[in-house]
């Protein structure tokens, strides 16, 4: 399994509005294209102005196909136009499980 971990740094004070908007509008669109949401997290300590989401893909090719489907969806672009101003930066990592990891 290929894991993608994305971290979005948000403007101070934007967390709750971003989560509300994402749950109502972004998640249904992204889930339809990406499918396997493993976790959507918010920090309780430290830098609390961010969200971390983790998605699972069967392969690099699966991820590329799903990204293309999401990128071609006009509703996704509408959501980004509404919510994008709350994000100040993003970081994405592609990860694979170690031999002993529960996630392979």
For the chain, report the end-to-end CA distance as a whole number of angstroms.
Answer: 6
Stretch 56-82: mean pLDDT: 95
Given a cut of 80, whether residue 104 has pLDDT beyond it is: no
- Cα–Cα distance, 97 to 104 (Å, whole number): 5
Rounded-to-integer distance, Cα 32 and Cα 41, Å: 19
pLDDT at 97 over 80: yes
The distance from CA 80 to its chain's CA centroid, rounded to whole angstroms, is 12
This prediction has a pTM of 0.88
Instruction: Give the three-class secondary structure for 101.
Output: coil
The CATH code of domain 2-93 reads 3.30.70.100
């Amino acid at each position: 399994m290929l894991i993608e971990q994305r971290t979005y740094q948000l403007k101070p004070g934007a967390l709750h509005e971003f989560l509300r908007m994402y749950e109502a509008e972004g998640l249904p669109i992204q889930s339809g294209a990406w499918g396997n949401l493993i976790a959507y997290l918010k920090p309780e300590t430290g830098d609390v102005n961010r969200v971390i989401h983790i998605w699972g893909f069967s392969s690099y090719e699966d991820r590329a196909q799903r990204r293309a489907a999401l990128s071609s969806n006009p509703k996704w672009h509408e959501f980004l136009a509404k919510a994008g101003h709350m994000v100040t930066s993003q970081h994405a990592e592609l990860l694979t499980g170690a031999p002993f990891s529960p996630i392979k």
